[in-house]
């Protein structure tokens, strides 16, 4: 019996870390697969053990075992009709002052977006799962931000979403239930807007005072000039 022909995209069997066809594929509990070497190197260079694609964090580093079925499928397809992987979209390497892509290994591309849910920045290629996958479409994307660590709770590895007025501190949702019970809290965005309004009022007040001081200084100079002219006239 002739084998059934499979029509698949090369992207379905590509590692999102190296962007090449999977080699010695391993699969995580979140459902994403990577090259064994790529994932091992990625975790060796990271402080937390998480999925490079969806950022799901593991408390303990999982033991990586090759996905035998996926490996056989890839071998069979590479012997038949799979074409060479398409060239990645045109993009630039990160330079001085640019935000780097957290998912790139080796020389990193410039990030085009940062994700407040994943607490990471992505180049155009590694951003695609957020634009195409249903699981990541609800994540909040912002312009590239090089200070993502400042928006990240080091204790719980969660994004900072609340502001504790009692302790004057930005906290995550885990902090809310573990250490700030009965404290006065507001959403971080609301606190940011309030601080911005207060800053605008303060700047407006400073500007008003400077204008008044400048006006007083001009008047003082005018009086001194008049006194000087009057003194010369008397001589």
pLDDT tens digits for 12-24?
678 888 888 888 8
Q: Would you say residue 39 lies in a domain?
A: yes
User: In the 8-state DSSP scheme, what is residue 16?
Assistant: T
In a domain, 194, yes or no: no
Secondary structure of residue 158 in the 3-state scheme? strand
Q: Which residue carries 């290994």 as its tokens?
A: 105
Looking at the predicted structure, is the pLDDT value of residue 4 above 50? no
Same domain, 75 and 96: no
pLDDT of residue 123: 92
- Whether residues 153 and 96 share a domain: the answer is yes
pLDDT tens, 144-169?
887 777 777 878 777 788 889 888 88
Q: Are residues 24 and 63 in the same domain?
A: yes
How far, in Å, CA of 221 to CA of 228, rounded?
Answer: 10
Domain identity same for 77 and 101:
no
What CATH number is attached to the domain comprising 124? Answer: 4.10.830
Q: Which three-class secondary structure state does DSSP give residue 121? A: strand
- The whole-angstrom separation of Cα 198 and Cα 200 is 5
List the domain range (segments joined by +) for residue 73: 8-83
Show the tokens assigned to 65: 């075992």
Whether pTM > 0.85 for this model: the answer is no
Q: Provide CB contacts within 8 A for 162, sequence distance 6+.
A: 170, 171, 172, 173, 175, 176, 185, 186, 187, 188
Residue 119 lies in a domain: yes
Q: What is the pLDDT of residues 41-61, one digit of tens each?
A: 888 888 788 888 888 888 888
Q: Which of 66, 83, 100 is the last residue of a domain?
A: 83
- Please report whether residue 183 resides in a domain: no
Dihedral angle sign, alpha carbons of residues 195, 200, 206, 208: negative
98 shares a domain with 65: no
Q: Do 15 and 43 have their domain in common? A: yes
Total domains present in the chain = 2
State the pLDDT at residue 227. 84
Q: Mean pLDDT in the chain?
A: 81
CATH of residue 46's domain is: 3.30.40.10
pLDDT, position 145:
83
Same domain, 120 and 72: no
Residue 83 CA to residue 60 CA, distance in Å, equals 38
| Domain assignment present for 221 | no
């Amino acid at each position: 019996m002739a084998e059934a022909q499979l029509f698949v995209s090369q992207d379905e069997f590509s590692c999102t870390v190296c962007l090449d066809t999977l080699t010695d594929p391993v699969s995580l509990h979140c459902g994403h697969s990577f090259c064994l070497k790529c994932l091992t190197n990625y975790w060796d260079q990271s402080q937390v053990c998480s999925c490079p694609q969806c950022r799901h964090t593991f408390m303990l580093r999982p033991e990586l075992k090759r996905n035998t079925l996926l490996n056989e499928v890839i071998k069979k397809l590479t012997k038949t009709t799979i074409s060479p992987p398409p060239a990645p979209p045109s993009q630039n390497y990160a330079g001085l002052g640019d935000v780097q892509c957290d998912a790139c290994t080796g020389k990193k591309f410039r990030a085009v977006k940062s994700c407040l849910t994943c607490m990471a920045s992505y180049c155009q290629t590694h951003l695609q799962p957020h634009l195409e996958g249903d699981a990541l479409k609800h994540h909040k994307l912002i312009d590239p931000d090089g200070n993502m660590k400042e928006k990240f709770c080091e204790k719980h590895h969660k994004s900072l979403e609340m502001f504790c007025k009692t302790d004057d501190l930005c906290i995550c949702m885990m902090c809310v239930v573990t250490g700030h019970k009965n404290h006065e809290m507001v959403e971080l965005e609301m606190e940011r807007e309030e601080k911005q309004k207060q800053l605008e009022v303060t700047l407006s007040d400073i500007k008003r005072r400077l204008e008044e001081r400048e006006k007083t200084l001009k008047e003082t100079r005018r009086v001194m000039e008049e006194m000087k002219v009057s003194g010369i006239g008397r001589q």
